């Protein structure tokens, strides 16, 4: 038997781990799952679940409000280069201001439009389109629920702040109907 015929002396293609190579044509690579990797995955799943539960508690609590304060960036009137697309320019901002928005009911027509946008978002695979659709949904819902103009939406200083407010408004529409003299059906 020559050295070339001995599998144990063969070198894997560069960059491949020899311990992950099949022993023969019929066997598969043996990759033992380390307990630390599976422990990490379990802890990560627990952390995500806790984050989701905490976020939903905040949504439910926020849904009880009728007025929301949103932090907006203050434009300077100047332009600056876009760091992602240097051939484009962005508005320059300096400082922030807080503006109050009163929650409004969403019309059936607008809710239907928002759900159609969501359906497009759910089926989209292109990351750019997913991000664009998500921003469009939140911008549209901020307009419907808060009367926030698109120019104001683009000035929101903290994405997590507007996301929580819009999610809270949507939650109230779906799960916490209120009865008022203007709304005897109890649907908001």
> Given this model, what pLDDT does residue 56 score?
94
> Given this model, what pLDDT does residue 183 score?
52
Parse the chain into domains and list their residue ranges: 59-65+105-175
pLDDT tens digits along 53-102: 999 999 999 999 999 999 999 999 999 999 999 999 999 999 999 999 99
> Given this model, what pLDDT does residue 92 score?
95
pLDDT tens digits along 120-141: 778 788 888 888 888 999 999 9
> Given this model, what pLDDT does residue 10 score?
45
Q: What is the pTM of this model?
A: 0.70
Report the C-alpha gap between 48 and 4 in whole angstroms: 51
Report the C-alpha gap between 111 and 145 in whole angstroms: 10
pLDDT tens digits along 20-48: 444 444 444 555 556 677 888 899 899 99
Which has more pLDDT, 10 or 89? 89
Unique residue bearing structure tokens 């929650």: 103
> Given this model, what pLDDT does residue 132 score?
87
- Taking CA atoms, 148 is separated from 15, 109, 133, in Å, by 53, 18, 18
């Amino acid at each position: 038997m020559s050295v070339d015929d001995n599998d144990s002396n063969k070198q894997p293609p560069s960059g491949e781990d020899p311990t992950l190579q099949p022993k023969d044509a019929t066997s598969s690579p043996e990759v033992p799952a380390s307990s630390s990797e599976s422990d990490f995955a379990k802890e990560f799943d627990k952390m995500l679940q806790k984050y989701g539960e905490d976020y939903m508690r905040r949504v439910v609590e926020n849904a009880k409000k009728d007025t929301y304060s949103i932090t907006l960036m203050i434009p300077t009137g100047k332009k600056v280069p876009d760091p992602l697309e240097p051939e484009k320019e962005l508005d320059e901002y300096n400082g922030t201001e807080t503006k109050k928005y009163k929650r409004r009911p969403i019309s059936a027509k607008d809710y239907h439009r928002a759900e159609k946008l969501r359906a497009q978002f759910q089926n989209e695979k292109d990351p750019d389109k997913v991000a664009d659709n998500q921003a469009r949904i939140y911008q549209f819902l901020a307009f419907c629920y808060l009367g926030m103009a698109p120019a104001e939406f683009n000035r929101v200083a903290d994405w997590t702040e507007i996301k929580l407010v819009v999610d809270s408004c949507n939650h109230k529409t779906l799960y916490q109907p209120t009865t008022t003299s203007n709304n005897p059906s109890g649907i908001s």
